[in-house]
Amino acid sequence: MSRKDNYFEHDADVGIIGYGTSMEACFADAAKAMFALMADLSAVHPSHEINVEFTEEDIELAFVTWLNLLIGQAQANNLILAEFELKKTGFFWQGKARGESWHAGIERGIEVKGATLTLLSVKQKGDLWQAKCVVDV
């Protein structure tokens, strides 16, 4: 479930923030926040799984790449995604997301078109990672 501190104001678009004790968990939390804009994720019963893989050295670009690959896969497969996992090995990233096909029982929220480089930031504060960016809605 997304919290109100997973978002920040940004003109007509929306800023998302992910938090986690690892960079990967932080990115997964941000993905959940992004998809929670599109639907109430508590209404989603994960029955489909998608996999994404990419290579990226820059952690900020990896964050945006992760989010955009998820959006692309969700749109291509008519899915709303609700559960996310990500693993980083060197510069290679492997992710999984689970969700289900859109249907009448899932009320659509805001359509997210993509993650942008606007206000992009990935940083560690003590034991907590924080990743944020603006998503185009």
**Partners of 69 in the beta sheet?**
none
Residue 59 contacts residue 6 (beta carbons within 8 Å): no
Distance separating alpha carbons of residues 96 and 84, to the nearest angstrom: 6
Kindly report, residue by residue over 54-75, the tens digit of the pLDDT. 999 999 999 999 999 999 999 9
- pLDDT at residue 5 in the model: 79
pLDDT, averaged in runs of 10, over the chain (137 residues): 70 90 98 98 96 98 99 98 98 98 95 95 97 95
* Ranges of each domain in the chain: 4-136
Provide the angle, in degrees to the nearest 10, between the axes of the packed helices 23-38 and 59-76.
40
Counting every residue written for the chain, the total comes to 137
The CATH code of domain 4-136 reads: 3.55.10.10
pTM of the model: 0.92
